[in-house]
Amino acid sequence: MKNTLRAALLPLVLALAIPAAAAPAPPRAPAPAVTVKRIVEGIRAGNGAYAHLTRLCDDVGHRLSGSPQLEKAVEWAVATMRADGLENVRTEPVMVRRWIRGAESATLLEPRETPLHILGLGNSVGTPPEGVTAEVVLARSLADFEALGEKVKGRIVLFGNAMPAFDARKGTGYGETVGFRLRGPKMAAEKGAVGVLIRSVTAHSLGSPHTGVTLYGDSKVRIPGAALSVEDAELVARLIEGGRKVVVRLKMEARDAGEVPSANVIGELRGRELPDEFVVLGGHLDSWDVGQGAHDDGAGVVMAMEAVAALKRLDLRPRRTLRVVLWTNEENGGAGADQYAEDHRAELDRHVAAIESDMGGFKPRGFGVAMADKAAEARAVQSLGKLTALLKPLGATTVLPDMAGADVGALVEKGVPGMLLLVDESKYFDYHHSAADTLDKVDPAALTEATAAMAAMGWLLAETPARLDAAPAGKSARPAQGVKAAGGPAEKGKR
């Protein structure tokens, strides 16, 4: 492929007036399927993503926004991308809010005393030092919650809705289940509650609670929220449903430690013809403060890093620039995503696509795509259908509309085609935001296949002359910048 590369660089070479006498006659570029095969084989041979993930998980561990571990992860990512030969490796400063969990506990006091397994919700306020002690009322649904009416006042509300088991047809059920984690504390505070417990958002539990962000919005009164393990949530729910009075004491030292500096980490493989057009491959470098953030989103981070490093190793320099972006603060703020969109606003019309992987390091299935302009999105779906046909050996041929990673949401709003790597998500939420999101849950072979899918798609998007959302003749390919995608694409991704 050296020859091909040189041939592709020829116009540039000539323009720079470097003697070209020795250049061979330009050979025909290999068919895309040939290059994809080479990429897949190169990534399978390297197994580099898993090696990187091992270092991130074991040497750094989890890495919540503002923590020393996240800063260590930033340093690691910069050093690793440089060692892998990526270009323009750098950090871009982002201010993030630092939330600190502190010690936390919950105790069932009535009808009998026993400790409960909790994880405070991310961004939750803490309790007074003596805790919040109150009777617990149960809502398994929004209708239940509304029916409680005045009974919420002065009480702790347990949102006990259960996440269904994964269903290949219906999906994970996460989106339909997570609402009370996101908005339960706000909703309950508005009705006079003093605290909120949720049933951990997972369909399978072996005793560990699952955290995740809660959103107070503009609420003036903020009450603490925590996730119970499924086991303990079911215990409390059974007691209440059996007519018992349940009293719980919730103690949380959680606090907001203000704004602190963090960074997005960036590395590139510069395009040979259109270096100022970009295809972004990325994941988020931050994680929750439990487990190792292996699937969420260490996997996405190392896939993007290795996808581009492998192309570099294979001497495959695409037409456009491939840019690795490792966002900070996806889990509890999204400041990294917003800052990237702001810092790069002048070049967003030259962002051909931005793919995030944030559903774990599982076997790839295909890609989702979201655009603010739904007509353009429909065209992008069609274009992707042709490209993913080349990914059949990886099983990554599914293309879904209206779906992008949370960190590319801010780009989608500004007209960029945002994408999400689709994977086998049947086990993702078993580990998600819990002590179980660790390296041992990552199958190296699956991670390699997912990395190959990212690399091949990145290559195809950066190499194919036509843009993904190319308009029919006579129409603008992009809507005006700032058009907001219907439904809010960030909400459609996962958090």
Q: Which residues are catalytic?
A: 330
Write the CA distances from 370 to 47, 170, 181, 423, 494, integer angstroms.
30, 20, 25, 17, 14
Q: How many residues bind a second copy (CB under 8 A)?
A: 33
Residue 249 or 351 having the CB closest to a second copy: 249
In whole angstroms, give the CA distance from residue 358 to residue 370. 15
Alpha helices in 242-321 (DSSP H): 299-313
Question: Which of 335, 439, 455, 461 contacts a second copy by CB under 8 A?
Answer: 439
- Closer to a second copy at the Cβ: 198 or 371? 198
Orientation angle between helical segments 32-46 and 48-55, nearest 10 degrees? 40
Cα Rg, the chain, nearest whole Å? 24
Non-local CB neighbours of 489 within 8 Å, separated by 6+ positions: 370, 372, 402, 404, 408, 409, 412, 413, 418
Closest to a second copy by CB, 1 vs 240, is: 240
For a second copy, the binding residue among 90, 153, 170, 204 (CB under 8 A) is 204
| E strands present in 246-394 | 247-252, 255-269, 274-284, 320-327, 351-356, 364-370
> Which backbone phi and psi does 85 adopt, to 5 degrees?
85, 15
Give the residue, chosen from 231, 343, 349, 424, that forms a contact with a second copy under the rule CB under 8 A: 231
Residue 114 CB, shortest distance to a second copy, in Å, is 5
Among 46, 225, 267, 291, interactor with a second copy by CB under 8 A: 291
Q: Minimum distance from CB of 474 to a second copy (Å)?
A: 56
Contact between 4 and 29 under an 8 Å Cβ cutoff? The reply is yes
361 touches a second copy (CB under 8 A): no
Region from 52-60, 332-340, 388-396, 482-490 binding a second copy, contact rule CB under 8 A: 52-60
3-state DSSP percent of the chain in helix, strand and coil, to 5:
40, 25, 40
Examine residue 371 and tell whether it contacts a second copy (CB under 8 A): no
Span from 227-235, 351-359, 393-401, 468-476 in contact with a second copy (CB under 8 A) = 227-235
Q: Of residues 208, 339, 388, 451, which one binds a second copy by CB under 8 A?
A: 208
Contacts with a second copy in 76-115 (CB under 8 A)?
111-112, 114
Token duo for residue 138: 């149960």
CB atoms within 10 A of CB 137: 20
Q: Which of 440, 473, 474, 476 binds a second copy (CB under 8 A)?
A: 440
Residues 134-173 that bind a second copy (CB under 8 A): none
Contact code string over 391-430 relative to a second copy, x by CB under 8 A:
---------------------------------------x
Regarding 33 and contact with a second copy (CB under 8 A), the answer is no
Q: How far is the CB of 426 from a second copy (least distance, A)?
A: 15
Shortest Cβ 439–a second copy spacing (Å): 7
**Pair 311, 48: CB distance under 8 Å:** no
Collapsing DSSP states into helix, strand and coil, what is residue 60? Answer: helix
- Between 60 and 396, name the residue whose CB sits nearer to a second copy: 60
Q: Whole-angstrom Cα distance, residue 374 to residue 181? A: 30
Q: Quote the least distance from Cβ 229 to a second copy, whole Å.
A: 7
Contact pick of 434, 448, 451, 464 for a second copy (by CB under 8 A): 434
Nearer to a second copy, 11 or 111 (CB): 111
Residues 6+ apart with CB under 8 A from 388: 366, 367, 396, 397, 398, 399, 457
DSSP state of 432: T
Beta-bridge mates of residue 333? none
Q: What are the helix (H) ranges across 242-296?
A: none
> Should residue 117 be labelled a site residue for a second copy when binding is judged by CB under 8 A?
yes
Q: Which is nearer to a second copy, 232 or 413 (CB)?
A: 232
Beta-bridge mates of residue 252: 104
Of positions 33, 41, 58, 142, contacts a second copy by CB under 8 A: 58
When asked if residue 71 is in the footprint of a second copy (CB under 8 A), the reply is no
| Binding track, positions 247-286, relative to a second copy; x by CB under 8 A | ----------------------------------------
Separation CA 458–CA 399 (nearest Å): 15
**Which residues here bind a second copy, judged by CB under 8 A?**
54, 57-61, 111-112, 114, 117, 204-208, 229-231, 234-235, 238-239, 242, 291-292, 430-431, 434-436, 438-440
